[in-house]
């Protein structure tokens, strides 16, 4: 009798947890991997560390900038999460001293307000703050805070008709943000508001194998997602010489059980965006899978 | 340098943390996803990346019109608890069939999915 009661309690507990334990950016058949140029649309317990990028800035002469960053994201509830990110930067300018230091700390509150399993769609909204005074002057950390409301979406093509089944592994994610500086000027320098926007088009081979057609691909290949990202920023207050900047990033994401590894080339769209081809790489841990009963689950 | 070493140790610790479970991913299936086969299978069997909890799992079969096809009770493979299957009560007629699955891994993460296979006339 006692065992029977214990078993019943266990069933109720597991059933209750099972109704909420999803995490990642998952909608029905679709898993949206974390992308590098724009954020994915989901709320999850995750750690991106390290993210390493190297590129030549749009300055003249172009300086070589190396960024090493990390971001920790934590779910407060199943749909609401916070994250904190920090970046260490080194800038090598020809004919000048190399400078290094930390950028301003950035925090984000994100709410995933829509998830449709049937249509493989996710939408989220967020408010990010880059905190002034937390970064180093020598690498150009801003002296003002910046508040950025954002909108995110993700849509998989799994609901295409059977005639287009080959295209079902495609998915697109996107982000639109509006950056509002806390001050219009820092001394003589004007601070522009700016619109940031980007898209990531991805073709999920795991989706192809598990939901469309199993081609018996090797396990490594079967976990790859080719992706091309485009991210842009357009100043919306007039500052002389300020133009739209952005990059196009083709790359690959390998998704394992507990972490993913991604690498992308960084191609500037114009001279103001940079010189030559850069790169960005990231290791990203799924904390909800690694620690499902402790730090990997929502607080409430 | 010590900071780099510590960071690497944390990263490796996370990557290889013991006893960690993950979202169950469908690794392969019989009949295979998208397969065209010449005879009715006797069961539908799914292989997942994680051990699943059979009490909270389901495998349902629909014919081309969306009508449910009767199956036997779902069972977990006694030698490999990442495998679940349902026996088919009767031989399937030629046509397209959709397998809809829903699983909960032992750490309570849930996943769902579906795929089609076809039996040739």
pLDDT digit of tens for each residue in chain A (300 aa)? 445 544 444 444 444 444 434 557 899 899 999 999 999 999 999 999 999 999 999 887 779 999 999 999 999 999 999 999 999 999 999 888 999 999 999 999 999 999 999 999 999 999 999 999 999 999 989 999 999 999 999 999 999 998 899 999 999 999 999 999 999 888 888 888 999 999 999 999 999 999 999 999 999 999 999 999 999 999 998 777 788 999 999 999 999 988 999 999 999 999 999 999 999 999 999 998 888 888 888 898
pLDDT value at residue A237: 83
A128, A236, A237 from A185: Cα distances, Å? 20, 15, 12
**Chain A partners of B32 at a C-beta cutoff of 8 Å?**
214, 216
Compute the nearest-CA separation of B89 from chain A (Å).
Answer: 24
pLDDT value at residue B36: 96
Cβ(B23)–Cβ(A24) below 8 Å: yes
Q: Which residue bears the tokens 């005879």?
A: B39
Compute the nearest-CA separation of A27 from chain B (Å).
Answer: 9
What share of chain B in percent tops pLDDT 70?
81
- Nearest-CB residue to B104 (from A18, A210, A212): A18
- Mutation for testing the B interface, residue in A70, A212, A258 having most B CBs under 10 Å: A258
Question: Who wins on pLDDT, A165 or B15?
Answer: A165
Torsion, CA B70, CA B71, CA B73, CA B74, rounded to 10? -130
Nearest to A45 by CA among A16, A79, A19: A79
B104: which 2 tokens? Answer: 């909960």
- Mutation for testing the B interface, residue in A209, A217, A285 having most B CBs under 10 Å: A209
Main-chain dihedrals φ then ψ at residue A278, nearest 5 degrees: -110, -170
Three-class DSSP category at A124: strand
CB A2: neighbour CB atoms within 10 A?
6
Q: Quick one: closest CA in A to B47, which residue?
A: A210
**Cβ–Cβ of B114/A11 closer than 8 Å?**
no
Give the model's confidence band at B6: pLDDT under 50 very low, under 70 low, under 90 confident, else very high: low
A55: which 2 tokens? Answer: 């590129």
Compute the nearest-CA separation of A157 from chain B (Å).
Answer: 14
The residues on B that touch A, with CB distances below 8 Å, are 7, 10-11, 14-15, 17, 20-23, 25-26, 28-29, 32-35, 49-50, 53, 55-56, 104, 107-116
Residue A75 sits at the chain B interface (C-beta within 8 Å): no
Compute the nearest-CA separation of A131 from chain B (Å).
Answer: 24
**Cβ–Cβ of B29/A214 closer than 8 Å?**
yes
**Chain A partners of B54 at a C-beta cutoff of 8 Å?**
none
Q: Quick one: closest CA in B to A69, which residue?
A: B7
**Chain B partners of A47 at a C-beta cutoff of 8 Å?**
14
Q: Where are the beta strands (DSSP E) in B1-121?
A: 26-30, 36-37, 43-48, 58-62, 68-69, 75-76, 83-87, 95-104, 110-119
Integer Cα distance of A167 and A159 in angstroms? 10
pTM above 0.90, yes or no: no
- Nearest-CB residue to A259 (from B15, B34, B111): B15
A240, A275, A292, B80 from A243: Cα distances, Å? 9, 15, 45, 59
- Nearest-CB residue to A290 (from B14, B33, B116): B14
pLDDT value at residue A158: 94
The DSSP call for residue B2 is H
**Cβ–Cβ of A209/B33 closer than 8 Å?**
yes
**Cβ–Cβ of B25/A257 closer than 8 Å?**
yes
Q: Quick one: closest CA in A to B96, which residue?
A: A162
- Nearest-CB residue to B26 (from A49, A210, A290): A210
Residue A55, H or E segment: strand A46-56
**Cβ–Cβ of A49/B7 closer than 8 Å?**
yes
Mean pLDDT of B76-86: 93
pLDDT value at residue A284: 96
**Chain B partners of A50 at a C-beta cutoff of 8 Å?**
7, 11
């Amino acid at each position: 009798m006692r065992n029977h009661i214990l078993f019943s309690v266990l069933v109720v507990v597991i059933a209750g947890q099972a109704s909420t334990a999803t995490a990642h950016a998952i909608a029905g058949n679709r898993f949206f991997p974390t992308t590098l140029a724009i954020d994915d649309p989901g709320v999850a317990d995750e750690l991106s560390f390290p993210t390493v990028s190297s590129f030549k800035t749009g300055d003249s002469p172009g300086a070589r900038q190396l960024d090493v960053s990390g971001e920790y994201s934590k779910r407060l509830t199943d749909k609401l999460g916070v994250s904190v990110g920090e970046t260490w930067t080194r800038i090598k300018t020809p004919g000048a001293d190399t400078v290094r230091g930390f950028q301003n700390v950035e925090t984000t509150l994100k709410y995933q307000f829509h998830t449709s399993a049937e249509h493989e769609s996710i939408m989220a909204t967020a408010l990010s703050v880059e905190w002034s005074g937390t970064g180093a002057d020598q690498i150009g950390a801003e002296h003002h805070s910046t508040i950025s409301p954002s909108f995110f979406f993700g849509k998989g093509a799994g609901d295409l008709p059977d005639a287009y089944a080959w295209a079902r592994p495609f998915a697109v994610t996107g982000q639109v943000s509006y950056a509002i500086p806390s001050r219009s000027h820092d001394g003589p320098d004007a601070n522009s508001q700016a619109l940031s926007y980007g898209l990531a088009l991805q073709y999920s081979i795991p989706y192809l194998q598990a939901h469309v057609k199993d081609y018996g691909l090797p396990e490594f290949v079967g976990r790859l997602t080719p992706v091309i990202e485009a991210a842009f920023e357009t100043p919306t207050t007039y500052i002389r010489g300020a133009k739209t900047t952005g990059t196009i990033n083709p790359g690959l994401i390998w998704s394992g059980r507990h972490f993913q590894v991604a690498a992308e080339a960084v191609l500037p769209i114009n001279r103001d965006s940079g010189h030559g081809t850069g790169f960005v790489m990231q290791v990203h841990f799924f904390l909800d899978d690694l620690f499902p009963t402790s730090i990997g689950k929502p607080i409430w | 340098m010590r900071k780099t070493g510590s960071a690497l140790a944390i990263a490796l610790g996370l990557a290889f943390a013991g006893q960690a479970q993950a979202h169950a991913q469908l690794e392969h299936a019989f009949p295979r996803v998208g397969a065209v086969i010449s005879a009715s299978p006797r069961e539908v069997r799914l292989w997942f990346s994680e051990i699943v909890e059979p009490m909270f799992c389901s495998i349902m079969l629909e014919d081309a019109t969306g009508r449910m096809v009767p199956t036997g009770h779902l069972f977990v493979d006694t030698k490999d608890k990442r495998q679940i299957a349902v026996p088919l009560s009767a031989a399937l007629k030629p046509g397209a069939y959709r397998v809809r699955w829903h699983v909960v891994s032992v750490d309570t993460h849930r996943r769902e999915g579906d795929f089609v296979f076809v039996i040739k006339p």
